[in-house]
Amino acid sequence: MKIDDLIAIDVHTHAEVSCRQGPDPYWQPFEDAANKYFKAPPRPTIAETIKYYREKKIGLVMFTVDSEFQIGNRRIPNDEIAEAAAANSDMMIAFASIDPHKGMMGVREARDLIESGAVKGFKFHPTCQGFYPNDKMAYKLYEVIAEYKLPAIFHTGHSGMGTGLPGGGGLRLKYSQPIHIDDVAVDFPDMTIILAHPSWPWTDEALSMALHKENVYIDLSGWMPKYFPPQIVQYANGQLRNKMLFGSDFPLIQPDRWIKQFAEAGFKPEIHDLILKQNAIKALRLAA
């Protein structure tokens, strides 16, 4: 990334519409429910997302969510996102998403993506993927990520996916309780762990983990800042000023709207650049 040219780095953006494959009807009920929950605009393609971020001078980390096991929808290929990132490397990074249920085939894919330089990290969504993060099933995959000292983002807390559907669309919130990731942080100290979202209703668990574990960060995506639990602002202004990262959850939340509210949400002016940019440079190892 050309860091000096960017006003911020958004560590949490989603690839929602492929430029190579059509929409999958299995995903449509979840997308409709999420649109209602977030009051979201129509979903852009990967190319449209990149154009939008370039115009805003905001760097981005983009990923899909591989939920083929739990939900049954086709994922957007990791290669498609990786190729887009390679073509826009001045302002974009690709993370891969591989469902741990894929076992050794998933491990092979992860190693291939890393060794080719295609991706710089990984994204897990325990609720949509249907697993506890500390399930040993996932450890072979974590071993590869840790071997290369790459970061991994884990969805935590409530999920907009499935909200309002009968039975939550079959998705279980328990998988995304942050404390299940504490074992992973202990067992893989070389893997930077980013807890996505304010983790409500388990916000204090996430704050405790980020305070206790050197390799644990928190991204503030998925919520507009005026709705953050007060302890998020309190710890961001204090002990965790170097552990909080800007993330939007685009396209469900627009980054420029998030940044505008962030400036008015009680965060001290001296930590604005840390959260918007500098902490991401460290967590993503973008500087030598």
pLDDT (tens digit, 9 = 90+) per residue, 213-247?
999 999 999 999 999 999 999 999 999 999 999 99
Q: What is the pLDDT at residue 32?
A: 84
Residue 71 lies in a domain: yes
Q: Nearest to residue 27, comparing CAs of 120, 137, 140, 165? A: 165
Residue 270 lies in a domain: yes
| Residues 6 or more apart in contact with residue 35 via CB below 8 angstroms | none
**Stronger pLDDT, 29 or 172, i.e. the higher one:** 172
Residue 161 lies in a domain: yes
Residue 26 lies in a domain: yes
The model's confidence at residue 25, banded by pLDDT at 50, 70 and 90, is confident
Q: What span, in angstroms and rounded, lies between the C-alpha atoms of 115 and 191?
A: 16
End-to-end CA distance of the chain, in Å? 12
75 contacts 97 by C-beta, under 8 angstroms: yes
271 contacts 236 by C-beta, under 8 angstroms: yes
Q: What is the mean pLDDT of the chain?
A: 95
Strands 58-63 and 92-94: parallel
Q: Nearest to residue 285, comparing CAs of 188, 186, 149? A: 149
Exposed e or buried b per residue across 197-230, where buried means at least 16 C-beta atoms within 10 angstroms of its C-beta: bbbbebbebbbbbbeebebbbbbbbbbbbeebee
Residue 288 lies in a domain: no
Q: What is the pLDDT at residue 262?
A: 98
Q: What is the mean pLDDT of residues 117-144?
A: 98
What number of other Cβ atoms are within 10 A of residue 250's Cβ? 24
Q: What is the pLDDT at residue 288?
A: 63
Q: What is the mean pLDDT of residues 160-168?
A: 91
Q: What is the pLDDT at residue 221?
A: 98
The model's confidence at residue 36, banded by pLDDT at 50, 70 and 90, is confident
Please report, rounded to a whole number, the percentage of residues in the chain having pLDDT higher than 90. Answer: 88
Q: What is the mean pLDDT of residues 177-191?
A: 98
Q: Domain containing 220: what range? A: 3-283
* DSSP for 175-211, written as a single string: GG-THHHHHHHHH-TTSEEEEES--TTSHHHHHHHHH
Q: What is the mean pLDDT of residues 248-276?
A: 97
Three-state secondary structure call for residue 221: coil
Residue 274 lies in a domain: yes
Q: What is the mean pLDDT of residues 165-179?
A: 96
**Two structure tokens written together for 80:** 């498609």
Exposed e or buried b per residue across 98-119, where buried means at least 16 C-beta atoms within 10 angstroms of its C-beta: bbbbbeeebbebbbebbeeebb
Q: What span, in angstroms and rounded, lies between the C-alpha atoms of 161 and 95?
A: 20
Please report, rounded to a whole number, the percentage of residues in the chain having pLDDT higher than 70. Answer: 100
In whole angstroms, how far apart are CA 107 and each of 95, 121, 144, 218? 15, 14, 7, 25
Q: What is the pLDDT at residue 10?
A: 98
Three-state secondary structure call for residue 123: strand
Give the CATH number, domain containing residue 21: 3.20.20.140
Domain count, the chain: 1
Find residue 213's DSSP bridge partners. none
What number of other Cβ atoms are within 10 A of residue 150's Cβ? 21
Tell me whether residue 163 is exposed, middle or buried, using C-beta atoms within 10 angstroms of its C-beta: 0 to 12, 13 to 18, 19 or more: middle
The model's confidence at residue 43, banded by pLDDT at 50, 70 and 90, is confident
